[in-house]
Structure 1
Amino acid sequence: MKSAVETLNPTRVRLTVEVPFEELKPSLDAAYKEINKQVSVPGFRKGKIPARIIDQRFGRAAVLQEAVNQALPEFYGKAVDESELNVLGQPEVDITELNDNEELKFTAEVDIRPELELPDYEGIEVTVDAVAVSDEDIDGSITQLRDRFASVKPVERAAAEGDVLVLDLEASVDGEVLEDGVAKGVSYTIGSGELLDGIDEAVTGIEAGGTATFESELKGGSAAGRTASIKVEVSKVQERELPELDDDFAQLASEFDTLEELRADARTRLESSKKYEQATDAQQKVLEAYLEKVEVPIPEKLLADEIGTRKHNLEHHQLEPMGMTLEQYLKVQGQTEEEYTAELEEQSRKGIKTQFVLDEIVAKEQLNVSQDELTEHLLQRAAGSGMSPDQFAQQIVQGGQVPMLVGEVARGKALQVVVEQAKVTDSEGNAVDLSDDDDTDGDAAAEATEAAADETDTADTADEASDAAEEKTEA
């Protein structure tokens, strides 16, 4: 077999492959066996039909076509390996010559990872917010904890801000009650903003048993984006009672004996949380600054596929379960389809560029991912998914997504390499140490990397598609 590579542009090549007929013979024999399994000829047992009879009855061309379909992935894969190409996605294959007992010639156009020139890591300077925890922050944390231990009691008075109501709702459009517009026994806290626009004004001042009607634009369901008439009936008005802020509350809500100890712990936790947020912000700003220094050509087909994937995921995995169409969603968002598509393209370009650059750093620095690092990242992702580690791991393995997870960890380590060379200061002029000594920095780097790539793994997806192409290429 001989192959040659023609560079069409920095991200796409054309492979020209010539295969002597002798190298097709194993696939030809396999093709005869496969056809033998599928057809019947009078006078011959199934599976025992001679090759000359198959040629006479079904045509030699059908056998050749079957042989080529089986052989192409192998020949394509060999050509890719010989040329040392880093391919992305499925190739576009064209058989240019197939002569019986002579040779097979075909071309395969495919996207490749562009060769990048990485600039030095030094010289990047970014500023982030200083880590500061105020008394108001602590008060807010304690208030949230106090709210979790609040109780409610029915009251015989008009509903007011902060009350917890039990409501029955009925939505109508053009005088017709929507099938999915009726809800009963809904618990709602006035002022929480968790239901429809205008509901607070409608129910404030109403006692149990009272009703009100108001208009609101529906955010989801069959009539998403349309203005509906909402009838609301208040069946209960309940007043929230908060526990006293004292040592008894501290003992009830925590492992601490005194309120002072509880507040001290709240300060420590808030400082840790803000430090993590600071690290993530710094990582992302350093990454963005470094990306600006790198020219990265983007494969157009990969970009188009990524835009299509994002749009498909939004329409079918997010909006469809909510009973909302893309048109309704865009109306709610106040976006035109052109604006939405432009935004998708920008996000996709950034995601692809981020992964290409970080993957290049991984290769340059020869970064590896240990089992412990992968396990730690898996536990973190499991916690964010709401699944148990075992459930999450099973889903990852069954979905063949382990390489994706390895890539996430490796890219986080690549970003950390850049961050360690950057100058990071806070808003008060203090130097921020983001060395890898801090256990949170690796997690922050991974989170910043995911955010910059908009939580997608475009390059990984392309690599997986490339692997599939080697198995499923058809003439």
Structure 2
Amino acid sequence: MKSAVETLNPTRVRLTVEVPFEELKDSLDAAYKKINQQVTVKGFRKGKIPARVIDQRFGRGAVLEEAVNDALPKFYTEAVNEAELNVLGQPEVDITELKDGETLNFTAEVDVRPTIEIPDYSGIEVEVDAIEVTDEDVDKSVEQLRERFASTSPVERAAEDGDVVTIDLEAKVDGEVLEDGIASGVSYTIGSGELLDGIDDAVKGVEAGGEATFTSELKGGSAAGKEAEVTVKVTQVAARELPELDDDFAQLASEFDTLEELKADSLKRLTNMKQYDQATQAQERVLEKLLELVEVPVPEKLLEDEINTRKHNLEHHQLGQMGLDLAKYLEIQGKTEEEFDAETKEAAVKGIKTQFVLDELVKQEKLNVNQEELTEHLMRRAASSGMSPDQFAQAVVEGGQVPLLVGEVARGKALAVVVEKATVKDTNGEVIDLDDEDEVETATEVAAEATEADATEADAEEKSEG
């Protein structure tokens, strides 16, 4: 077999392959054997029909077609390996010449990873938000905890802001009560915004036993997006009572003995959260600067597939879980379909460039992923998917997606290497030294998000459900 490579553009090549006919012998034998098992010829036992009889009865062309279909993948793979190509996706194969007993010639056009030159990135500088936790932030955190320990007691008065009301609901569209538009004994905190638009104004001022009617757009169910006439009946009004902010509350709501200890813990927790956000911001901004430094051609077919994958995951996984379709989502977001398509394309281009650049860095820096790093990443991904680690791991293995997870961790380590050499300052001008362990973890998440790692979770969920 002889092969040659022609570069069509930085991301696509054409392979020209010439195969001597004798190299088709194994595939021809397999073709005769397969046809032997499928046909019946009077006077011959099944599977024992001579090749010449098959040629006479069914045509040599049918045998050649079967043999070539069997042989092409093997010869294509040999040509790819011989040329040391890093191919992307499936090839477009064209048989240019097939002479029985002489030769098989074909061409294969396929996308390839572009050659990428990574320049010196040690001079990257980025600015991130300074970490600042105020007394007001701590007080707000403690107040949220206090809200969770509020008690309620029924009152005989009209409902007010902050009260918890027990209500019955009935929704009508075009005068007809919806089958899924009736709910009884619903507990609702006035002002929380957790139910329908307009319900707060409707129930305020209503006592137990009273009712009110209002119009609202339904957020879910069989008539999602339609205007409905909603009747709400208040069966109970209860006032919320917050516990006193003192040491007794600290002991009730936490493992601490005093309110001061509880506040100190809140300060520490909020600071840790801000540090994590700061690290994530640093990773994202360093990645953006890195991508600006590198020229990365993007294969058209790969870009098209990536855009379609992102749209599929949004429509069939994220929006499906919320009971929305794409049209309703765009309406809520205030975007046109053209704007959505442009944003999706931009994100897809960034994702492909991120993967190419970081994969090249993995090779350049000779980075490896050990079992412990892979396990830790799998645990985090399982938690974000809502599946147990065992379920997620089983789905990933069955779906053949372990290499994808390994790639995510490796790219995270590559980004962490770049961040380590970058200069990161906060808005106060202070140089930030990110924690090495947190650096790899956040870098993995940032790199995975940029390359649309949600596809892995979506595929894992589909595998688990199947």
With the length of structure 1 as denominator, give the TM-score of the two structures.
0.90
Segments of 5+ residues of structure 1 without an aligned counterpart are: 462-475
Aligned to 1:451: 449
Tell me by how many angstroms 1:357 deviates.
Answer: 1.0
Aligned to 2:363: 363
Asked if structure 2 preserves the Cα contact closer than 8 Å seen for 1:225 and 1:331, the reply is no
Tell me by how many angstroms 1:389 deviates.
Answer: 1.7
- Output aligned runs, 1:345-360, within 5 Å: 345-360=345-360
Aligned to 2:269: 269
Greater shift in the superposed pair: 87-96 or 39-48? 39-48
In structure 1, the residue corresponding to 2:295 is in which secondary structure? Answer: coil
Q: Distance in 1 between matches of 2:327 and 2:45?
A: 60
Q: Distance in 2 between matches of 1:75 and 1:357?
A: 30
Q: Distance in 2 between matches of 1:454 and 1:200?
A: 39
For 2:108, the aligned partner's letter is: A
Q: Deviations over 1:54-87 (max 9, x none)?
A: 2222222112111111211111111111111111
Asked if structure 2 preserves the Cα contact closer than 8 Å seen for 1:222 and 1:324, the reply is no
Aligned to 1:300: 300
Across the aligned residues of Structure 1 and Structure 2, the Cα RMSD in angstroms comes to 2.1
Q: Distance in 2 between matches of 1:178 and 1:97?
A: 66
Asked if structure 1 preserves the Cα contact closer than 8 Å seen for 2:310 and 2:452, the reply is no
Aligned to 1:440: 438
Segments of 5+ residues of structure 2 without an aligned counterpart are: 460-466
Asked if structure 2 preserves the Cα contact closer than 8 Å seen for 1:283 and 1:448, the reply is yes
Q: Deviations over 1:150-185 (max 9, x none)?
A: 333333222222222333333333333344444333
For 1:440, the aligned partner's letter is: D
Asked if structure 2 preserves the Cα contact closer than 8 Å seen for 1:212 and 1:231, the reply is yes
Tell me by how many angstroms 1:282 deviates.
Answer: 0.8
Asked if structure 2 preserves the Cα contact closer than 8 Å seen for 1:225 and 1:329, the reply is no
Asked if structure 2 preserves the Cα contact closer than 8 Å seen for 1:154 and 1:238, the reply is yes
Aligned to 1:191: 191
Identify if the C-alpha distance between structure 1 residues 169 and 79 changes in structure 2 by more than 3 Å, giving closer, same or farther.
Answer: farther
Greater shift in the superposed pair: 117-126 or 38-47? 38-47
Tell me by how many angstroms 1:92 deviates.
Answer: 1.1
1:40 aligns with 2:54: no
Aligned to 1:138: 138
Aligned to 1:62: 62
Aligned to 2:462: none
- Output aligned runs, 1:31-110, within 5 Å: 31-110=31-110
Identify if the C-alpha distance between structure 1 residues 329 and 129 changes in structure 2 by more than 3 Å, giving closer, same or farther.
Answer: closer
Identify if the C-alpha distance between structure 1 residues 130 and 21 changes in structure 2 by more than 3 Å, giving closer, same or farther.
Answer: same
Asked if structure 2 preserves the Cα contact closer than 8 Å seen for 1:225 and 1:332, the reply is no
Q: Distance in 2 between matches of 1:63 and 1:425?
A: 70
Q: Distance in 2 between matches of 1:89 and 1:287?
A: 26
Q: Deviations over 1:103-159 (max 9, x none)?
A: 111111111111111121122111111112222222222222223333333332222
Identify if the C-alpha distance between structure 1 residues 434 and 324 changes in structure 2 by more than 3 Å, giving closer, same or farther.
Answer: closer
Q: What fraction of aligned residue pairs are identical, expressed as a percent? A: 71
1:29 aligns with 2:34: no
Greater shift in the superposed pair: 5-14 or 54-63? 54-63
Asked if structure 2 preserves the Cα contact closer than 8 Å seen for 1:152 and 1:164, the reply is yes
For 2:244, the aligned partner's letter is: E
Tell me by how many angstroms 1:404 deviates.
Answer: 1.0
Greater shift in the superposed pair: 91-100 or 237-246? 237-246
Q: Distance in 1 between matches of 2:43 and 2:211?
A: 85
For 2:450, the aligned partner's letter is: A
Tell me by how many angstroms 1:317 deviates.
Answer: 2.8
Q: Distance in 2 between matches of 1:133 and 1:323?
A: 37
Greater shift in the superposed pair: 189-198 or 276-285? 189-198
Aligned to 1:154: 154
Greater shift in the superposed pair: 104-113 or 236-245? 236-245
- Output aligned runs, 1:322-337, within 5 Å: 322-337=322-337
Tell me by how many angstroms 1:17 deviates.
Answer: 1.1
Aligned to 1:468: none
Tell me by how many angstroms 1:322 deviates.
Answer: 4.9
Aligned residues: 457
Tell me by how many angstroms 1:435 deviates.
Answer: 5.4
1:248 aligns with 2:245: no
Q: Distance in 1 between matches of 2:317 and 2:383?
A: 21
Tell me by how many angstroms 1:311 deviates.
Answer: 1.7
Identify if the C-alpha distance between structure 1 residues 175 and 440 changes in structure 2 by more than 3 Å, giving closer, same or farther.
Answer: same
Q: Distance in 2 between matches of 1:309 and 1:421?
A: 34
Q: Distance in 2 between matches of 1:230 and 1:125?
A: 56
Identify if the C-alpha distance between structure 1 residues 256 and 18 changes in structure 2 by more than 3 Å, giving closer, same or farther.
Answer: same
Greater shift in the superposed pair: 50-59 or 399-408? 50-59
Asked if structure 2 preserves the Cα contact closer than 8 Å seen for 1:351 and 1:456, the reply is no
Identify if the C-alpha distance between structure 1 residues 456 and 20 changes in structure 2 by more than 3 Å, giving closer, same or farther.
Answer: farther
Q: Deviations over 1:450-470 (max 9, x none)?
A: 333344579xx9xxxxxxxxx
Select the structure with the greater relative contact order (CA < 8 A; seq sep ≥ 6).
1
Identify if the C-alpha distance between structure 1 residues 102 and 151 changes in structure 2 by more than 3 Å, giving closer, same or farther.
Answer: farther
For 1:131, the aligned partner's letter is: I
In structure 1, the residue corresponding to 2:441 is in which secondary structure? Answer: helix
Aligned to 1:126: 126
Q: Distance in 1 between matches of 2:332 and 2:63?
A: 57
Asked if structure 2 preserves the Cα contact closer than 8 Å seen for 1:281 and 1:448, the reply is no
Identify if the C-alpha distance between structure 1 residues 234 and 71 changes in structure 2 by more than 3 Å, giving closer, same or farther.
Answer: farther
With the length of structure 2 as denominator, give the TM-score of the two structures.
0.92
